[in-house]
C-alpha cells in the first residue's frame, strides 16, 4: 500500500492513541499464566499483540474480546498445554524473546518460528541466560530464529546483563517464576520496567534495588483487572508533528508516562518543545494527558545511557532533529540496526532523499538541521516506525511525498493514518482542543 501525503499548515485536535504495546504483551502473558480471570481494557489491537494472543490460545488458554475488553481465563503457572505445531510469532520480537522465559518452565517442547524480518534478529542474547538457568534452548543459523525450547526444571541464578534490553530481562524474570529459589538480574543501565511493575501487580514475589531485580519462584499469580495506558511511542509522532508545524495544538489522552519509558519527553524538552503533562494518575503504570503546542526547536546531544528509554522513539527524533536549528548527535544507538529493519540505514536514506543532512562518524549519528525538507518518494522498508516517522516529515515538507508499503503500520498502530487525518482536517478550522 502506497500512501500519498501532502504538506499541511498545522495539526489540531484531541486524540487518544492505542494501548501501549509493551504493556499489552505482558498483560496477556501474565493473565495467561495466572490463576483465575484477568480482564484487560485498552489492550492494543495490532499484529504483534495478536501473535501473543494466538500463541497462548494454541496452548489452551481462553482469550476472548468482549466490547473494549479482553478476557483471559488463566491456566496457572504450569497449566499450559503443548501446542499442536510451531508457534509462529510473525514479526513480534517481544513475543519470541519474552515468551521464551515462560516456555522454559513448561514440561514440553516448543518451537517458535518467525517471519523473514524477525528471522534476522538475534536471539542468542536470550538463549544465553536461559541456558545458564538450565534450560535446553537452541537457535538456528548462529543465534537466529527459529528457537527451540525443551522446557523443564529451571534453576535460580544471579545474572548481570550484557546489553540493556527489557526483553532479555523479562525473559529471565518470567523463567524465574518457575525456579526454586531467588533469581536476581542486574542491569548496566535501567531498561523499561513494565514487567517488574506488572508482575508485582499479579502477586509475584519481586523486589527491586536500584539496577537489581529479584524474583523468588514457585508462587502462583492471581488474575487481575487492569487498563492499558496509551503508548507513548505512538503518541510521539503526533507530539513531533505538533511541535514542527506552526500554529499546531494537539491534546493526547491517557498516555503512559512511566519514567523508564518517557525519555522522549526529556529529549524534546531539551530541544525546546513546548508541552504540558496534565491530570497524571499513578496506577500500576503511571499515565497522563499530554498537550503539545508548536515551537521552534534546537539540536541536542543524546548520550548512550539515554538510548534504552527512547529506542522506539529514535526514528521520530531523527525527523525532529532534521528540522531543528543546529546539530544533533546521537551516541550508542547500534540497537537500531537489529529492529524490523536497520533503522539507522532506513532513516538516513529517507531523510537524505528529502534533502536532510544526516551522517555517521565513529558510530555516532550526526544530524544537521535544515529549514525545510522537500517532498520525495519514501520507503518504509517494511518497518512501522520508519513509515510513521516519515509521514510526519512529509507533513512538514515542501511538496507532496509518497510512502511505499505503508500498510506495515498495522504492526503497532493500524489506525495511524486515520488518526493523522483527523488532526489534518482541523487545520483550516479554529482549534478547540
The β-bridge relationship of strands 3-5 and 401-404 is antiparallel
Q: Which residues contact 224 (CB under 8 A, 6 or more apart)?
A: 31, 34, 38, 201, 202
Rg over CA atoms, the chain: 21
Pairwise CA distance, residues 118 & 278, whole Å: 37
Q: Where are the beta strands (DSSP E) in 224-326?
A: 225-227, 249-256, 274-282, 286-293, 301-302
Pairwise CA distance, residues 285 & 111, whole Å: 32
Pairwise CA distance, residues 169 & 191, whole Å: 9
Q: Please report, in angstroms and rounded to a whole number, the separation of the first and last CA atoms in the chain.
A: 32
**20 is an active site residue:** no
Catalytic residue among 209, 312, 364, 421: 312
Q: Where are the beta strands (DSSP E) in 187-273?
A: 205-209, 212-216, 225-227, 249-256
Pairwise CA distance, residues 194 & 260, whole Å: 9
Phi and psi based region of residue 392 (left: phi greater than 0; alpha: psi -120 to 50; beta: remaining) = alpha
3-class secondary structure, 226: strand
Q: Which residues contact 161 (CB under 8 A, 6 or more apart)?
A: 168, 169, 185, 186, 187, 188
| Distance set, CA 388 to CA 5, 237, 345, 411, 412 (Å) | 12, 7, 16, 11, 10
Pairwise CA distance, residues 364 & 383, whole Å: 22
Catalytic residue IDs: 312
Amino acid at each position: 500500500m502506497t500512501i500519498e501525503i501532502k504538506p499541511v499548515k498545522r495539526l489540531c485536535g484531541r486524540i487518544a492513541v492505542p494501548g501501549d504495546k509493551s504493556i499489552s504483551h505482558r498483560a496477556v502473558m501474565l493473565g495467561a499464566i495466572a490463576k483465575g480471570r484477568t480482564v484487560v481494557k485498552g489492550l492494543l489491537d495490532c499484529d504483534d499483540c495478536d501473535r501473543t494472543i494466538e500463541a497462548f490460545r494454541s496452548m489452551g488458554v481462553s482469550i476472548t474480546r468482549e466490547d473494549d475488553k479482553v478476557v483471559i481465563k488463566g491456566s496457572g503457572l504450569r497449566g499450559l498445554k503443548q501446542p499442536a505445531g510451531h508457534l509462529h510469532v510473525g514479526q513480534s520480537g517481544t513475543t519470541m524473546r519474552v515468551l521464551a522465559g515462560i516456555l522454559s518452565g513448561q514440561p514440553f517442547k516448543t518451537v517458535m518460528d518467525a517471519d523473514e524480518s524477525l528471522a534476522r534478529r538475534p536471539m542468542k542474547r536470550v538463549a544465553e541466560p536461559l541456558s545458564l538457568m538450565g534450560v535446553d534452548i537452541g537457535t538456528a543459523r548462529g543465534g537466529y530464529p527459529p528457537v527451540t525450547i525443551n522446557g523443564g526444571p529451571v534453576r535460580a541464578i544471579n545474572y548481570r546483563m550484557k546489553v540493556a534490553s527489557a526483553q532479555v530481562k523479562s525473559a529471565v524474570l518470567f523463567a524465574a517464576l518457575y525456579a526454586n529459589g531467588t533469581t536476581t538480574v542486574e542491569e548496566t543501565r535501567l531498561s523499561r520496567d513494565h514487567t517488574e511493575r506488572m508482575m508485582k501487580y499479579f502477586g509475584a514475589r519481586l523486589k527491586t534495588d536500584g539496577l537489581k531485580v529479584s524474583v523468588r519462584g514457585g508462587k502462583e499469580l492471581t488474575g487481575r483487572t487492569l487498563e492499558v495506558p496509551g503508548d507513548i511511542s505512538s503518541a510521539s509522532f503526533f507530539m513531533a508533528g505538533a511541535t514542527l508545524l506552526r500554529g499546531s495544538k494537539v491534546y493526547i489522552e491517557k498516555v503512559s508516562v512511566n519514567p523508564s519509558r518517557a525519555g522522549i519527553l526529556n529529549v524534546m524538552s531539551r530541544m525546546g518543545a513546548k508541552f504540558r503533562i496534565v491530570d497524571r494518575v499513578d496506577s500500576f503504570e503511571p499515565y497522563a494527558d499530554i498537550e503539545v503546542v508548536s515551537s521552534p526547536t534546537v539540536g541536542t546531544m543524546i548520550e548512550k545511557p539515554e538510548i534504552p528509554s527512547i529506542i522506539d522513539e529514535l526514528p521520530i527524533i531523527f525527523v525532529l532533529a532534521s528540522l531543528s536549528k543546529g546539530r544533533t548527535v546521537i551516541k550508542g544507538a547500534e540497537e537500531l540496526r537489529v529492529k524490523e529493519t536497520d533503522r539507522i540505514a532506513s532513516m538516513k536514506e529517507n531523510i537524505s532523499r528529502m534533502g536532510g543532512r544526516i551522517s555517521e562518524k565513529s558510530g555516532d549519528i550526526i544530524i544537521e538541521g535544515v529549514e525545510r525538507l522537500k517532498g520525495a518518494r519514501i520507503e518504509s522498508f517494511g518497518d512501522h516506525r520508519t513509515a510513521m516517522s516519515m509521514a510526519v516529515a512529509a507533513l512538514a515538507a515542501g511538496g507532496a511525498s509518497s510512502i511505499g508499503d505503508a500498510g506495515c503500520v498495522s504492526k503497532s498502530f493500524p489506525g495511524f493514518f486515520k488518526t493523522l487525518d483527523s488532526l489534518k482536517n482541523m487545520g483550516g478550522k479554529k482549534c478547540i482542543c
